[in-house]
A and B are shown apart, each in its own frame.
Chain A
Amino acid sequence: MTTMTMIQALRSAMDVMLERDPNVVVFGEDVGYFGGVFRCTEGLQAKYGKHRVFDAPIAEGGIVGTAVGMAAYGLKPVVEIQFADYFYPASDQIVSEAARMRYRSAGDFTAPVVIRMPCGGGIYGGQTHSQSPEALFTHVCGLRTVMPSNPHDAKGLLIAAMECGDPVIFLEPKRIYNGPFDGHHDRPVVPWSAHPKSEVPEGHYTVPLESAAVVRPGDDLTVLTYGTMVYVARGRRARDRHRRRDHRPALPVAAGPADAWWPR
């Protein structure tokens, strides 16, 4: 075990899988030489070479379309959309190609791509660097939509996504890349090192994609949430504790059709 931020945990997941599976390739805008705008792929090109970790043109439709072709051919592409706000040009490739490949071909072809996207607000990114499009993906049959809320789950879920036979939209709440956030912008940043979920195994492990966790049990109310809002909900719950007892914030690690992917 070692302490990791979510960025380090995600990098470790890709590192582990690039090492284990020669079919894994990682690409996207600035992910190669630069290591990603949030540093999630830092050092991976130097370690695995330009044929496995490489930069792509600023063309999200081309990035995802190329990944779909690679996946149909048998590779395991992990692509990064630099900000979730930029995925719209790739919508057709995601919905009409990746999500439909298995059904359209009656199972003869599949597109097990992982599409990583930093998402959400809280970093003063403005309109084009703050969007939360996860609900759009959860309504597309054939896609699996995942959003972790801590470093331990981030690594385990990303490895599970890379080993999954379905296309996975992997949304990364950028506000909690470096530490949990309780909703108060005026308070000092709390680092992940002070949180127990920053304890991350260095090797291979998975967190099931169809899972959720109960953060605090209770009897009266269930708060179902994911990503950054797990900590905002917990912060709110702490403030309300003197007024209302037994709130039950749950901590889902995957977003999706509620009846199927939030089983408890």
Chain B
Amino acid sequence: MAAALKEASKHGSLQDGLIPPLATMFEDVYEHMPPHLHEQMRQAGEQKAG
């Protein structure tokens, strides 16, 4: 099991720091991002920026 985990981790994990950009949480929900998702994305960006 440890070997399998090691093998899987070679393909990447959250510990690599390769976290997808915040915007990907809001993209590809609709064909065109509606205003309410734009606003939520903006607010999330502000929260992240602190």
A positions within 8 Å CB-CB of B: 102-103, 105-107, 110, 141-142, 144, 164-166, 210, 257, 259-261, 263
Contacts and interface: CB of A to CB of B under 8 A. Distances in A.
B29 interface: yes
A107 B28 contact: yes
Contacts of B46: none
Contact of A260 (B27, B31, B35): B35
Contacts of A142: 29-30
B39 A259 contact: yes
Given A259-B35, A260-B34, 12 more contacts: A102-B30, A102-B31, A107-B28, A142-B30, A164-B31, A165-B31, A257-B36, A259-B36, A259-B39, A260-B35, A260-B36, A261-B34
Nearest to B36: A260
A115 to B, nearest CB: 16
Nearest to A258: B36
Ranked 3 nearest A-B pairs via Cβ? A260-B36, A165-B31, A107-B28
Interface string B37-50: 10100000000000
Contacts of B34: 210, 257, 260-261
23 contacts: A102-B29, A102-B30, A102-B31, A106-B28, A107-B27, A107-B28, A110-B31, A141-B37, A142-B29, A142-B30, A164-B31, A165-B31, A166-B31, A210-B34, A257-B34, A257-B36, A259-B36, A259-B39, A260-B34, A260-B35, A260-B37, A261-B34, A261-B36
A165, A210, A257 — which one has the most chain B CB atoms within 10 A of its CB?
A257
Contacts of B27: 107
A67 to B, nearest CB: 17
A102 B35 contact: no
Contacts of A260: 34-37
Contacts of B28: 102-103, 105-107
B28 to A, nearest CB: 5
Nearest to A143: B30
A103 B24 CA distance: 9
Nearest to B39: A259
A107 B31 CA distance: 8
A71 to B, nearest CB: 13
A166 B32 CA distance: 9
Interface in B1-50: 27-31, 34-37, 39
Contacts of A107: 27-28
